[in-house]
Chain A
């Protein structure tokens, strides 16, 4: 429970910052103020300013928006396509469709997500949307496998048998009886994929394949700070901490949720 609380609070802080950034930021993160460039943290700029005099706190708030949006949509793509695929595969276990879906999954798994992202950006150009698609594609087999394995154990249950006897088709059973019972699994995995998505987005924008200027993103802030790290380490410190704390928060929350949904695991894990 401690994990869940700590993780929930950390996640809420950054999610709150992202939401708040739509209404208010201390400064406009796109306005350049060369007179105040590379200022260390002060009361006027709590986290200092960057090499263009932009307020780092404001940029981190807007960056939270980018990270969360990219990771959230990527998880959405993964669930939106992966869950139906997994349900279908489980319903047709052993059939041609099942085999096809699972082999397709294996294939996507063989491509490290970063490579998919690089290929997509090589072809379509670098942008936040392409980063989302790249991370999202990699999420599909994760959810498909999880849903299938969760669903397979449910198909042998008596209540599913009862539903079949009552004349319900495979699709209806999947939606009405299987899906609600794999939701816990999906929520836990969703949290984990969310945190992986934030790391992936940061990595992609760090190498210039993610969100493009002037959209603030944590990864690009780090890329900008790299050449100045010897005399302006604060520029590298805060965006990195933001990524670390957000991912940590989501991971702790995932662990906590898993323990909450499945008390049997609590004993084995902690």
Chain B
């Protein structure tokens, strides 16, 4: 187990280094001088040079990478070109919206998908199964930002149950804050829940046709008992994989959904920074999201190794 852990940790570190290199090179070496952008086309050459110096744009590529990556390791994400505030601070504030939103959506998606998938699998071929499969087929195909707009039309504009956008802030109280995240979370959760329900169902159906289920039934367990006691636990591995993968989709999907609901999260920050050519912010947010994805996948891998010792040997 220790050997496995060390090996996985090493590969985690390599992935992170390579990812940071790719992000850095993509955004830093390519054309577009932030100093020139900030000062406009009429800027004097010496003002430009001074600003470049101040923003730390003058060093060689290697120097700039090392100072950026070194800063990241110490939690120093640099200073925003446009806002002149530490990027870490800006990200920290926004994270308090994006992260709860992603977790809220993940919870909703799991809460919808598990019962739906299990129900459909246990009543295979019945009207319940056909309905679940039909609805999830639609759920996979619907663009989530359009679904979000339709929900705004129905629940915010017509029924007035929710506000159409914006975030009240955590100071307004936990329940009110969660309420303003509810429509965005549902919009994010729907496609993921559909995928998850389908995976749950097919994985459960695969497991239910295994020999050990027949044995369990032969020794007198009812269909329902066999499903809950034996099949479900064994069907969870592919489901866990998908949940891990979905976390990254939720974080990235939040970028678009935040724009539908005017939520001041990481996604809005990225878009504002792109239009202001504030590359250090874009760079840091993208790095943070990729970091999150790589670490989550690492944790999922570890979870397998704990759940299923057979997987430890494989890479």
Contact = CB atoms under 8 A, between A and B. Distances in A.
Interface in B243-271: 248-249, 251-253, 255-256, 259-260, 270-271
A236 B141 contact: no
What band does the interface of chain B fall in when counting residues whose beta carbon is under 8 Å from A? 35 or more
B150 A222 contact: no
A107 interface: yes
Interface in A225-270: 225-226, 229-230, 233, 236, 239-240, 243-245, 247-248, 251-252, 268-269
What band does the interface of chain A fall in when counting residues whose beta carbon is under 8 Å from B? 35 or more
A219 B271 CA distance: 17
A240 B144 CA distance: 10
A235 to B, nearest CB: 10
Contacts of A107: 15, 18-19, 22
B145 A247 contact: no
B141 A203 contact: no
B32 interface: yes
Nearest to A106: B15
A219 B143 CA distance: 10
B141 A114 contact: no
Interface in B21-69: 22-23, 26-27, 30, 32
A226 B19 CA distance: 36
Interface stretch (B2-10, B89-97, B171-179, B290-298): B290-298
A61 B290 CA distance: 37
Contacts of B22: 107
A107 B27 CA distance: 17
A222 to B, nearest CB: 6
Interface of B: 15, 18-19, 22-23, 26-27, 30, 32, 137-138, 140-143, 145-146, 149-150, 152-153, 157, 202, 205-206, 248-249, 251-253, 255-256, 259-260, 270-271, 273-274, 279, 282, 286, 289-290, 293-294, 297
7 contacts: A107-B22, A115-B255, A222-B145, A226-B149, A226-B260, A243-B143, A247-B140
